[in-house]
Amino acid sequence: MAVLALVSVVFLVPTFARSVPYWWPWQEPIRLGLDLRGGTYLLYGVDIEQAIDNTVDRQMQDLEREFQSARIGASAIERDGRVIRIQLANKDKRQQVLDLVRERFPNLKEANVPDSGVGGLAFTLEEREVQRLRDSVREQALNIIRNRIDQFGVAEPTIQAQGADEIVVQLPGIEDPQRAKELIGRTAVLEFKLLAQGPQAGTLEQPGAGTEVLRGKGDDGGPQRYLVERRTLMTGDVLTDASVSPGSLTEGMVVNFVLDARGAKQFGELTTAKVGRNLAIILDDVVESAPTIREPITGGRGQITGRFDFAEAQDLANVLRNGALPAPLTMLEERTVGPSLGKDSIRKGALSFIVGSLAVFLFMAFYYRGGGLIADAALLTNVLLVLGVFAAFGFTLTLPGIAGIVLTVGMAVDANILILERVREELRLGKTARAAVEAGYARAWSAILDSNVTVLISGLILFQFGSGPVRGFAVTLCLGIFTSLVTAVFGTRVLYDWRLSRRRLQTVSV
């Protein structure tokens, strides 16, 4: 038990010491949660239905490309809710379309639409694909947010799922919460489209069919509107990397991107066919730049310019590198905890723990005398073990976690009381000290095991179905059960056996 306590102290020194020598074997303090350290709490809702609609849009765009490659004429391809409607120019191509969809779009199925007419077809997503999207969208968003925050540089963030479509983000000690919120909530859908031209394009006030007006930045950095073709030529899902580099004096920082093999081929074909046209690089429906294609770009690399400062370019490269969110996020709740409030929580939590533990220590020493002092040593070691595990494994200590430690002390002292009362009973029956200790531990073990297993099951249920503070409490509680069994049962038994082997005791002080 002394060795375990010493190891725990080694892990805890960085937490309580102002400075730790470089040669000390452990340098990391206990991680403090948002309620103790201060920071920002964000709760987001994931729009899963929008993610399903986005998937239908992508399937429709892929169908258009496949029709062009297969030379299948279609007078109209449009989306009606989650149904893709196709009106064929030649009704004899119907079977060819069905074969193409069956071969290359296994997630689509033919839909029965009464008013499709001659040469009309309709497709919708398979039910299993819709269910897969519902199951995976939140996890994808969770991973993307985690990657964005990690590269943003926030120390010790907490990012976890809550419920079916919610994500909790806790950012302890963050200095720029607004920038973090913008980074997290940015959908980062990258699209490449052509600027519209010719009489059929219309004007900014009256755009023609197949064109739209998007806002963006002009050459002077001010706001500007662009007339853009609606058809998306390429999307950002083919990006493999993005980085920041200095541009010219007028460009500011630029974002360089690298495409995968499929994207490099598409980009090469696009820029070869559209030399002389302006290519709009659009992020979340905002035109970041619209450079003129002066020559084919076949190397699979490109640049986004937009008079970015370094922080803007870095954030843009971050979201492009980690991919677009599969669905928009909606801010449901935001809370800010000041560092002064965190310090007050630490002070009050520590005070409650000290007062409660001191009362238990004094009662045990007064009521059970020598046995109580051994129990107090076990309790102190138990607390050191719990805190040591938090420091060693990087667990986050929260205010509910402190409450869990206090409850752990209560559970541990309960085990010691059961043992000491059984030992008293055996001594009253006239047994020797060794026989009384052995019988006391044997008789108390079943009751201790039952109570701890019951609490452990409760803790596991809280961890499985709870979230946030409830999980923090459950982790501390479950951890405390194991440490209390080690210290209160096995640790104290070792001490009693050591005393009995060193001395020929007629009785034990209980």
pLDDT over 90, % of the chain: 3
Listing from the earlier edge strand, what are the strands of the sheet with 74-80? 74-80, 83-88, 120-125, 108-110
| pLDDT band, residue 118 (cuts 50/70/90) | low
Angle in degrees, 0-180, between the axes of helices 399-428 and 339-393, rounded to the nearest 10: 60
Amino acid, single-letter form, for residue 322:
N
Q: What's the confidence (pLDDT) of residue 370?
A: 86
| pLDDT band, residue 251 (cuts 50/70/90) | low
Q: What is the CATH number of the domain that holds 263?
A: 3.30.1360.200
Going from the C-alpha of 357 to that of each of 2, 372, 374, 405, 491, the distances in angstroms are 20, 13, 15, 10, 19
Question: Does 490 fall in a domain?
Answer: yes
Q: Tell which wins on pLDDT, 307 or 86.
A: 86
Query: Rounded distance, CA 55 to CA 60, Å?
Result: 9
pLDDT for residue 122 is more than 70: yes
237-246, 261-270, 409-418, 461-470: range with lowest mean pLDDT: 461-470
298 and 347 share one domain: no
277 and 345 share one domain: no
Query: Rounded distance, CA 470 to CA 139, Å?
Result: 21
231 and 96 share one domain: no
Query: Rounded distance, CA 382 to CA 4, Å?
Result: 9
244 and 393 share one domain: no
Count CB-CB contacts under 10 A for residue 405.
Answer: 23
350 and 473 share one domain: yes
Q: What is the CATH number of the domain that holds 473?
A: 1.20.1640.10
Q: Is 458 helix (H, G, I), strand (E, B) or coil?
A: helix
Question: Does 149 fall in a domain?
Answer: no
Question: Does 13 fall in a domain?
Answer: no
Domain boundary among 126, 157, 177: 126
CB 38 within 8 A of CB 20: no
Query: What is the mean pLDDT of the segment spanning 400-406?
Result: 83
pLDDT for residue 36 is more than 80: no
Query: Rounded distance, CA 457 to CA 335, Å?
Result: 32
pLDDT digits (tens, 9 = 90+) for 62-117: 888 788 777 888 777 888 888 888 888 777 788 888 888 888 888 888 887 666 56
Query: What is the mean pLDDT of the segment spanning 405-430?
Result: 87
pLDDT digits (tens, 9 = 90+) for 197-243: 888 888 888 888 888 999 887 766 678 899 998 888 888 778 888 88
Q: What's the confidence (pLDDT) of residue 457?
A: 92
pTM of the model: 0.59
Q: What's the confidence (pLDDT) of residue 191?
A: 85
253 and 385 share one domain: no
Residue with tokens 């079977």: 95
Q: Which two structure tokens, joined as six digits, stand for 269?
A: 């074909």
Count structural domains, the chain: 3
Question: Does 279 fall in a domain?
Answer: yes
Going from the C-alpha of 38 to that of each of 114, 158, 181, 341, 357, the distances in angstroms are 59, 13, 17, 7, 26
Query: What is the mean pLDDT of the segment spanning 129-138?
Result: 84
Domain boundary among 108, 126, 144: 126
Q: Is 240 helix (H, G, I), strand (E, B) or coil?
A: strand
Query: Rounded distance, CA 392 to CA 148, Å?
Result: 26
Q: What's the confidence (pLDDT) of residue 68?
A: 79
212 and 358 share one domain: no
Amino acid, single-letter form, for residue 209:
A
What range does the domain containing 111 cover? 48-126
Domain boundary among 81, 111, 126: 126
494 and 377 share one domain: yes
pLDDT for residue 141 is more than 80: yes
Q: Which two structure tokens, joined as six digits, stand for 277?
A: 């046209």
CB 377 within 8 A of CB 495: yes
| pLDDT band, residue 283 (cuts 50/70/90) | confident
CB 148 within 8 A of CB 318: yes
Query: Rounded distance, CA 507 to CA 510, Å?
Result: 9
372 and 446 share one domain: yes
Strands 286-289 vs 211-217: parallel, antiparallel or unpaired: parallel
Query: What is the mean pLDDT of the segment spanning 149-173?
Result: 78
pLDDT digits (tens, 9 = 90+) for 447-506: 898 888 998 999 899 888 776 678 778 888 899 888 988 888 888 888 888 878 776 666
- Summary mean pLDDT of the chain: 82
Q: From the centroid of its chain, how far is CA 105?
A: 32
381 and 495 share one domain: yes
Question: Does 331 fall in a domain?
Answer: no
Query: Rounded distance, CA 374 to CA 368, Å?
Result: 9
